[in-house]
Chains A and B, each alone.
Chain A
Amino acid sequence: MRKMSQLKKIFNKGDLAVTAECGPPKGADPEAIFKKAELLRGKADAINVTDNQTAIVRMSSLAACGLLISAGLEPVLQVVVRDRNRIALQSDILGASAMGIKNVLCLSGDHQSFGNQPQAMGVFDLDSIQLIQVVKTMRDEGTIWGGGPLTKSPELFIGAVANPFADPLEFRPVRLAKKIRAGADFIQTQCVYNLDKFEEWMNMARERGLTEQVNILAGVTPLKSSNMAKYMKKRVSGIDIPDELIKRMEETPKNRQRDEGINICLETIQRLKEIQGIRGFHIMAIEWEEAVGEIVERAGLLPRPSFDQD
């Protein structure tokens, strides 16, 4: 079992990191995870496992992370505060570390009204910033929240998310700063399509000195079709797709739209590489894990560095 997060090692070395995403199945089938694991093996340094994303019931993130570890991949455990109170969250954090999980991503989570259990009680006992703080306390102080020693501290590289496209824009860097102060080691952003707005956000982050304090991975999602682009723009909260990109997808014949989606993604990565303070890419190819290999290869991000087990 690895002793230290691969992701952390890459940042320490100063290389560009690559993370990808694996959404657990809507069922109890471990093969679904193993299949995605094979598509992503060697293409990314760590694999985010989403936690009942869009509030739709899926295999638990913790269990799916365990399956990825058994397949020899490094997971990033996504934890949302929507479904669990501080007792359950801390308990899962301890369990995650015991299972060999090295990275955790703390989020608030999509509101339960969006999913397939809209009658569920939303917990939100902690918010994402408080969860970061709780995990950091457990790791660095060796105590649960509010005191009380742990027999062993969880060893976790702590991540948080940022949405540069949400409002109010001028307040976004304040919240990013709070996440860093709470203990975030790395940040994965919402998927970037609107590069101008993203650059504006990065400039604000840089002015506050935040890019020096945290490792920012820019999120990208290849578009599969013009319909997906339109759907995401309209329906998925916090996504900003400029009209010219939608037009470009629409003007591409249907059978070539996936290729065009990958082209756009590669152009985006190219521009992101030029932005000072970007430490890597988070490639969220939603139910299209096959695309990740092509993207990292064509973006010149292969081979992924490997480290001796230490």
Chain B
Amino acid sequence: MITAEQKPIDKIREMIAPYKRILALGCGSCVAECAAGGEKETAMLASTLRMAAKLDGRDILIHEKTVDRQCVKDFILPLDDIIDQYDAVLSLGCGAGVQAVAEIFSAVPIIPALNTEFIGETRDQGYWVENCVGCGDCVLYDFGGICPLTRCAKHLLNGPCGGSRDGKCEVDPEVPCAWQLIIERLSKFNALDRLEKIYQPKDWSMKQGLGPRNIIREDQQR
């Protein structure tokens, strides 16, 4: 999933200050899972903003709505019926959601309420970890299901570096050394020989070679 965290409330208030009628737009997918922009968080943020405005003696209207997926056109289009009531949209979607809404409703200012963080997993209640950089050419087979490009602070494909100590990374003693994890896991499957190989420089053109990437699949088009 895409993880995100809410921006500081003062920052959000500063960005919405010029507007009087605001649609707080949540997203029911990834950002709901990471408790940043789902229905519940959207309601909480809207109510906090209303209260803050009231205390300031400012008269603003904030409505809430949460769509299932803010990054999918089909889920955004129905907003067409209500969007004209508002002079701004405060989006609690990820960066993709914010931009998808802006693309469709080009006449309405759209304000991001979240900082989008990373592709990660929910490891535990209230605990999310980054484990994919979306490199476009998955290397997880070679490294026993642990991505060194994401989870090693130096993105080493031929690690570990000299800073691995007691299974932890030199950058943060709370963070496990990805290479320690890779070695442990591959040895479980008697596949340590995979690490005798020199892995070649990564082809980053798969990630950023021609600027923003897109996927076009004719079999999926109608």
Contact = CB atoms under 8 A, between A and B. Distances in A.
Q: Do A and B bind each other?
A: yes
Interface of A: 82, 86, 108-111, 113-114, 122, 124-130, 133-134, 145, 161-163, 166-168, 171, 174-175, 177-178, 181-182, 190, 237-238
Contacts of A86: 201
A208 to B, nearest CB: 11
B158 A130 contact: yes
A127 B162 CA distance: 13
B163 A126 contact: no
A130 B200 CA distance: 7
Nearest to A181: B198
A166 B183 contact: no
A237 B165 contact: yes
B153 interface: yes
A127 B165 contact: no
A166 B184 CA distance: 16
B95 interface: no
A221 B165 CA distance: 20
Contacts of A163: 162
Nearest to A111: B171
B198 A129 contact: yes
Binding site of B, secondary structure by majority: helix, strand, loop or mixed? loop
Given A108-B156, A129-B198, A181-B198, A190 B162 contact: yes
Given A111-B170, A111-B171, A168-B180, A161 B162 contact: yes
A132 B199 CA distance: 12
Given A111-B153, A168-B164, 17 more contacts: A108-B156, A110-B163, A111-B163, A122-B153, A122-B155, A127-B154, A127-B157, A166-B165, A167-B164, A168-B167, A168-B180, A175-B158, A182-B198, A190-B162, A237-B162, A238-B165, A238-B170
Given A166-B160, A168-B164, A238-B163, A126 B170 contact: no
Interface string B144-162: 0000000001111111111
B158 A238 contact: no
A273 to B, nearest CB: 24
18 contacts: A108-B154, A111-B153, A113-B171, A122-B155, A124-B156, A125-B201, A129-B158, A161-B162, A162-B162, A166-B161, A167-B165, A167-B177, A174-B195, A175-B158, A177-B196, A178-B198, A237-B162, A237-B165
Contacts of B195: 171, 174
A178 B159 contact: no
A162 to B, nearest CB: 8
B189 interface: no
B103 to A, nearest CB: 28
Nearest to A238: B162
B143 to A, nearest CB: 13
